[in-house]
Amino acid sequence: MLNWFVTGVSSGLGRAIAKAALAGGDQVIGTVRCQADAEAFTALAPGRAHAMKLDVTDEAAVGVVWRTAEQLFGPMDYLVNNAGRGFTGAIEETSLEDARALFEVNLFGPMALIKSALPSFRARRSGHIVNVTSVSGLAAWHGTALYGATKFALECLGRTLAQEVAPLGIKVTNVAPGGLRTAFSAERLAGAEPTIADYAETAHLARATLQGHLGAEPGDPDRAAAAIVSALAAPEPPLLLLLGDDALKYATAEFAMLEGEIVRWQDLTLAIAAEPAAVAAE
């Protein structure tokens, strides 16, 4: 029986991941924000589903909860950084206060958990860190700059971490879903205020699109969770796992655009080469 620590299991993908792990006979320590959610989660599999209250932006609490989980339930095999919030709005409309708050949840919270997990993972020379990012962390989309920026940052954090911990037997996987049929857009999506009319045809379309597709998103969260569990069990798990045909489409288009820009401007890129250094005469 493996031990999973999954943040944000009250609903959505986090709950689906927890249910998939429980269905496989594993034990899940899931974080929630209120008592009602804690009771609902533990009822999924009494004795193997354990809820712990946690606000991931409380750095001190993160360390305490992680240590308590390992003391009560044994060493963790997986850390799944799933908890997060969405945000739409033009960059000009977004306050720095809102931007900082979003980074606290979507980047610094996961980082605090990673830092809490690494000492025990290093000691055992094992463990797997899973970061739920987003296709918006790979492909820019007007109206989602700040949300995308947090996910771009988490993508970089995960990829760099993978390089640092690979020699220690620790694995890292970034999971980048597209749209999933959850309540995320209804319950976890904030917006910039006040709005500016000039962005009606660009940045404001993001929120309208997300809410217009509510309940009709292309991805099934339970199938996404099954895909994640399957990928993590592979002998060589992926560093990046895209989920959904929309994620594949947007990421592929973004990478093709970037490759095109690199090729188109490569002459200027190479034009800055310095002259060879003079060799001092003996």
Contact 10, 37 (CB under 8 A): yes
Annotated active-site residue 147? The verdict is yes
252 secondary structure, DSSP code: H
Q: Supply the DSSP string of 148-159, one letter for each residue.
A: HHHHHHHHHHHH
Q: Which amino acid makes up residue 31? A: T
CA–CA separation, 139 and 151 (whole Å): 10
**Tokens describing residue 61:** 């609490």
CA–CA separation, 225 and 273 (whole Å): 48
- Under 8 Å CB-to-CB from 200, ≥6 apart: which residues? none
Beta strands 171-177 and 240-243, pairing class: parallel
Active-site position among 78, 147, 199, 250: 147
Contact 18, 6 (CB under 8 A): yes
Which is it for the CA torsion 228, 230, 235, 238, positive or negative? negative
The separation between the first and the last C-alpha atoms of the chain, rounded to the nearest angstrom, is: 69
Q: Which amino acid makes up residue 85? A: R
List, by residue number, the catalytic residues: 147
